[in-house]
Structure 1
């Protein structure tokens, strides 16, 4: 399917690896000029992006700088993919509500919610002028708040609500805002040697590979496997295109059937 995206411009945050990198690759393959933003610019991102910006997107200055670079280098923004999120595994405490200090809550909200608030605020004038699209990468954790580090699920729930608010306000002005909520994805967040997945495995007293092999059964994934980054990226590319012209305010779950409710 030709998504008719050739010549469009896109900003993808958290594009150095995982879902963000896969999104940058998918959009580039469709003829989109991509600015990839991440704290660390990887060789893989350099190979696919037209422009890269190293920035800390958990700060308003970093998020704004990324958008300003896109406006300067590409002349405008058609597509914004707010993908950056998660958190540094070595800084996350896996415990109950009473175990978590304010610092973790603030870090997770800055990275998973406010990064999107700041980048969207800066990019919206250009996106509105071009009648473009915003896709926010949330998580099924927004629907399963007891799973994951305290603060993460709550931030993702707020991000999903933000998408709905933006779609209501700016949809009538030609801006399409939607959410993609993956389950477990086979990215470095779960598969990396020092990743969040490795930390969860260690907390459970099992090996990392053993943990990954058990994830589909333990998480009740109906498909029997975890989602790959390229599968999420394909959905994002579709939502960014005019093929999805009348899809606004939706939350697309891509989790192999982990969430059992509609």
Structure 2
């Protein structure tokens, strides 16, 4: 894959696995995130660079696209992976009523508007280049909302809708836009101290390892019986970004361990 790619939120979890996979496939990669990580530093080199940015800054997504053009000469692939809990926020949250307007704004800034701004910057570059591929990382809860994390679910539902709309407008100009909707993935969102595993352990009177190994998979009726591995999502992202998916656009691909039950 002799392409130039941008991966947002690429210092850990799904984004890190995606950056590693795209680089292994031959793409030159710009990773955008607030901070790097030891794992990302190990990948850095002439074909992979890190740009430290706060993607909730309205100017940051365009700066990332411009950096890819400056360093590698263009942009062919955009993976809008940044998302999850905004800085300083612990998820899950269990009710709608305590959420303030500020909570909603923070959630949408991080999970939707960062992608909107990145697409706005990337699409003209891709069109001028003759085409490209955008993969937006949404969530299975965009299709199957519940009482937890209602603001996050709503932001991801908007992300899924965005992908469909952009595909409709820009596929005739050679820009494919697809969405990947993961279920629960064993990432730092779950495993960090104070993360989802600890929050759920306190709520269910369990411990963090039991939550990740048994409680959460059972509560979410994951038919595979386990949380996902980030690489399993990254592999689908890489496929949708590649020429092997040349006729796939406007799709929303679930990678969720059987969480979503609807037809």
Classify the TM-score, shorter chain: over 0.9
- Which residue in 2 is equivalent to 1:179? 179
Task: Give the CA deviation at 1:147.
Answer: 4.8
Whether the 8 Å CA contact 1:22–1:230 is kept in 2: the answer is yes
Alignment partner of 1:20 is 2:15: yes
For the pair 1:197 / 2:197, whether they are aligned, the reply is yes
Q: Distance between the aligned counterparts of 2:208 and 2:216, measured in 1? A: 11
Q: TM-score, normalised by structure 1?
A: 0.94
Contact 2:86/2:107, CA 8 A, preserved across alignment: no
- Provide the C-alpha distance between the structure 1 equivalents of 2:41 and 2:9, rounded to a whole number of angstroms: 13
After the TM superposition, list the runs of 4 or more consecutive aligned residues in structure 1 that deviate by more than 6 angstroms: none
Q: Give the Å deviation of 1:204.
A: 2.9
Identify the residue that residue 70 of structure 2 maps to in structure 1: 72
Match of 1:37 among 32, 38, 42: 32
Corresponding residue for residue 112 of structure 2: 113
**1:92 Cα shift?**
4.3
Tell me the SS of whatever aligns to 1:222. coil
Aligned equivalents of 1:222 and 1:89: distance in 2? 32
Helix, strand or coil: the match of 1:12?
strand
Matched, 1:253 2:254: yes
Aligned-residue offset at 1:127: 1.5
Asked if residue 46 in structure 1 is aligned to residue 44 in structure 2, the reply is: no
Provide structure 2 residue ranges, at least 5 long, that are not aligned to the other structure.
none
Taking only aligned residues, the RMSD between alpha carbons, in angstroms, comes to 1.4
Contact 2:201–2:208 at 8 Å: present in 1 too?
A: yes
- Cα drift, residue 184 of structure 1: 0.5
Correspondence for 1:153? 153
Give the direction of change, closer, same or farther, for the CA distance of 1:148–1:95 in structure 2 (3 Å limit): closer
Is 1:101 the counterpart of 2:96 in the alignment?
Answer: no
Structure 1 residue 188 displacement after superposition: 1.0
Greater displacement, 217-226 / 132-141: 217-226
Q: Per-residue deviation at 1:148? A: 3.3
- Unmatched segments (≥5 aa) in structure 1: none
Residue 90 of structure 1, CA deviation: 4.3
CA distance 1:25–1:117, shift in 2 (3 Å): same
Instruction: Quote the Cα distance in structure 2 between the aligned partners of 1:59 and 1:89.
Output: 13
The Cα shift of 1:146 comes to 1.4
Instruction: Kindly state the Cα deviation for residue 201 of structure 1 after the two structures are TM-superposed.
Output: 2.4
2 CA distance for matches of 1:67 and 1:199?
Answer: 36
**Contact between 2:96 and 2:147, CA under 8 Å: does it hold in 1?**
no
The aligned residue for residue 80 of structure 2 is 82
